[in-house]
Amino acid sequence: MAKRIALFNHKGGVSKTTTTFHLGWMLALKGYRVVLVDADPQCNLTGLILGFKGENEFENFYQKESDRNIRAGLAPAFESQPRAIEAVECLTVNGCEGLFLLPGHIRLSEYEVTLGIAQELSGSIQTLQNLPGSLSYLLDVTAEKHSADFVLVDMNPSLSSINQNLLMTSEFFLVPTSPDYFSVMAVESLSTVIPRWHAWSDRAKSNPTLKAATYSYPDKNPKFIGTIIQKYRPRKGSPTEGFQKWIDTINDRVAKQLVPTLDPLKMLLPKEKYKQIPSLLPNYCLAQIADFNTLIAKSQDHKTPVFALTDEQIGHVGTVLEVDQTKRKEFFEVFEALVERVITLTSDACGT
């Protein structure tokens, strides 16, 4: 079965979409089959991969490929259609064998209210019993259809019922951050939010109605595999002093607040697992990724990760090209190390 990793932080602007794209591409380069799930109604991941710039392009896509998005996949459950949820035929990502996209939909948020009601586990649950388990079921059958090894879920920056569901029905989760005050506050907030979501999930897992539903709520307890800190300016290969201060503060909050909160909830991997990463950065940080600067625009233009851009796609010559080639190599090494850590931490048993 595919390993599902949710990339979640309810603070925006921390490069969740960019990280999902780059992480998925690198996993595919390593020979894994990967499904990228765009669960954000803003559809940034879909727009990035398909090169869409405006609403008209999305609308044309939805008209031509009406069944190939996450909202359409969930429609049988959320719109009481007389048919079962089926796997979505994902789009292949150009230029990367083994990488697939489950496109997002700008109207996915319309399902928020109904799912929220269902997840209250109230007396009306009988009529809404299939909803809490439907998202996980859709992702499972879609992953199976594409023989996926990993499913990466790009989530929107909110504390929505959909995010609650997606996080608590994943096997693992990553927390992307950026070195600033708001990311520090977000880590502190997660220390309060996640226990509430965990308590809700425990009730859902033991609810007889949800267990007997057509799409039963899965018995899962996601494990925290680490943070990623990105979008800082380096100087001589290291973050500048101002950025380093926030990086240290984020690492401190993770170690002293988030991890102690997750431990009694059994949302951490065994300590031996983390020790398998000898080069692990402080306090569960899996990678520090500098700002992509001008290369991000090239990446978006060519729908290709920064580390996979060709010299022709970069479009520079001479000394400028040499600088970009060096940066490209650095980013490749950073994401390669990140992927190796993710593979190790999500392996089924120590030493495998």
Burial degree of 259 (CB within 10 A; 0-12, 13-18, 19+): middle
Q: Does 350 have pLDDT greater than 50?
A: no
Residue 124 reports pLDDT greater than 70:
no
- Residue 239 contacts by C-beta under 8 Å, 6 or more apart in sequence? 179, 232, 233, 247, 288, 290
Q: What mean pLDDT do residues 19-27 have?
A: 97
For 64-74, write each residue's pLDDT tens digit. 999 999 999 99
Residues in Cβ contact with 109 at an 8 Å cutoff, skipping those fewer than 6 apart: 41, 160, 162
- The pLDDT, as a whole number, for residue 281 is 66
What is the predicted pLDDT for the residue at 230? 87
Residue 154 to residue 96: CA distance in whole angstroms: 19
Contact at 8 Å (CB) between 76 and 33? no
Determine the distance from the C-alpha atom of residue 97 to the mean position of all C-alpha atoms in its chain, rounded to a whole number: 20
Which of 93, 10, 11, 6 minimizes the C-alpha distance to 48?
A: 93
Instruction: Give yes or no for a contact between 7 and 167, defined as CB atoms under 8 angstroms apart.
Output: no
Residue 319 structure tokens: 């000394």
* pLDDT value for 286: 94
Model pTM greater than 0.75?
Answer: yes
The β-bridge partners of 238 are 235
Distance in angstroms (rounded) separating the CA atoms of residues 306 and 22: 8
Contacts of 135 (CB under 8 A, 6+ apart): 74, 162, 165, 166, 169
How are beta strands 34-38 and 238-239 bridged, if at all? unpaired
DSSP secondary-structure letter at 2? P
Average pLDDT, rounded, for the chain: 92
236 pLDDT more than 90: no
310, pLDDT greater than 50? yes
**Which tokens belong to 255?**
């170690």
With pLDDT > 70 as the criterion, what percentage of the chain qualifies?
A: 94
Q: Is the pLDDT of residue 122 over 60?
A: no
Q: What are the pLDDT digits (tens) for 139-187?
A: 999 999 999 999 999 999 999 999 999 999 999 999 999 999 999 999 9
Half-sphere exposure of 30 (CA within 13 A, CB side): 20
Q: Distance between CA 162 and CA 185 in Å, rounded? A: 22
Mean pLDDT for 288-297 is 88
The tokens for 6 are 């949710």
Give the residue among 132, 174, 189, 152 at the shortest CA–CA distance from 10: 189
